[in-house]
Structure 1
Amino acid sequence: MTVTLQAPIAQRPVTEVAVGVLLQPDGRYLLAQRPAGKPYEGYWEFPGGKLEPGESVEAALVRELHEELGIEVETSQRWHTLEHDYPHAYVRLYFCKVTAWSGAPHGREGQALIWQAFPVAVAPLLPATIPVLEWLEAERSDV
């Protein structure tokens, strides 16, 4: 697991987020479009959400992917941690590879979903999504 950290600007509070990188056996990955009314509306990202107080990354991942996509996570593993300073929040993102789930992902919050392969064919991408795509691409080329 790789950890990429930046120093929080002016000691801003850190928002912790569990993020699911859903992977198909053929290497495709799922991206979700941020819904209207949220910061970065219309940008594409990996699905996930904030940890609740006292909640583990794994529990948050299961809860968030059920709430957002209507799936039940069966197999996941923590993969990378990245901190990113957005204008609206300083976030610590726990990216988890999700390789098995039950149910068909669908946008339960009205968000569009798309399975992608390389090169990514949607834009704009949420800034913290770009390193994840680079990590996936690097793993793909190592095979």
Structure 2
Amino acid sequence: MKITLVAACALVDADNRVLVAQRPEGKALAGLWEFPGGKVEPGERPEACLIRELHEELGITVKEACLAPLTFASHGYETFHLLMPLWICRRWEGQVIAREHKALKWLRAGKLRDIPMPPADEPLIPPLIDLLGP
């Protein structure tokens, strides 16, 4: 089975809320809420992928020194296996805007369980609650 590496980021604002983005219509798992990020391209480092994806998806600039690894998810879908490291980021430049997603929300970590998320994202929630509180 093919392994797909996807880098994801939990952007955390000054109020300790986490940003989630709603997948747009026409994409797999449309309507579900996810952590921003994307597929790591061949030869690309996951951190570089995340910096690129956060700029493309949200219009923000993130420096690698502001990314802190937190945890990862390993999830088998029907046609591929997803390996998804999650970084925390508390500092970035620019205003967060939805360039590619249907909508954005800032939520407390404990509230992430109340929204529909892809199965691969769900195991990332408990480490966020441990770090940020409910």
What is the total number of aligned residue pairs between the two structures?
A: 131
For the pair shown, the structure with the greater C-alpha radius of gyration is 1
TM-score by length of 2: 0.89
Partner of 1:7: none
1:99 aligns with 2:90: yes
CA contact (8 A) 1:33 1:112 kept: yes
Partner of 1:115: 106
Moved over 4 A (4+): none
Question: In structure 1, how many angstroms separate the alpha carbons of the residues matched to 2:113 and 2:127?
Answer: 17
Question: In structure 1, how many angstroms separate the alpha carbons of the residues matched to 2:3 and 2:42?
Answer: 13
Question: In structure 1, how many angstroms separate the alpha carbons of the residues matched to 2:7 and 2:121?
Answer: 13
Of 102, 116, 128, which residue of structure 2 is paired with 1:124? 116
Question: In structure 1, how many angstroms separate the alpha carbons of the residues matched to 2:78 and 2:35?
Answer: 19
Alignment CA distance shift 1:36-1:17 (3 Å): same
CA contact (8 A) 2:82 2:120 kept: no
1:76 aligns with 2:67: yes
CA contact (8 A) 2:71 2:127 kept: no
Return 5+ residue gaps in structure 1 as ranges: 1-11
TM-score by length of 1: 0.84
Partner of 1:54: 43
Query: Quick check: which one's strand share is greater?
Result: 1
Deviates more, 1:72-81 or 1:55-64: 72-81
Q: What is the CA-CA distance between 1:122 and the residue it aligns to? A: 5.2
After TM superposition, list the pairs within 5 Å mapping 1:83-94 onto structure 2.
83-94=74-85
Question: In structure 1, how many angstroms separate the alpha carbons of the residues matched to 2:84 and 2:113?
Answer: 23
Of 105, 126, 129, which residue of structure 2 is paired with 1:137? 129
| TM-align CA RMSD | 1.8
Question: In structure 1, how many angstroms separate the alpha carbons of the residues matched to 2:130 and 2:67?
Answer: 20
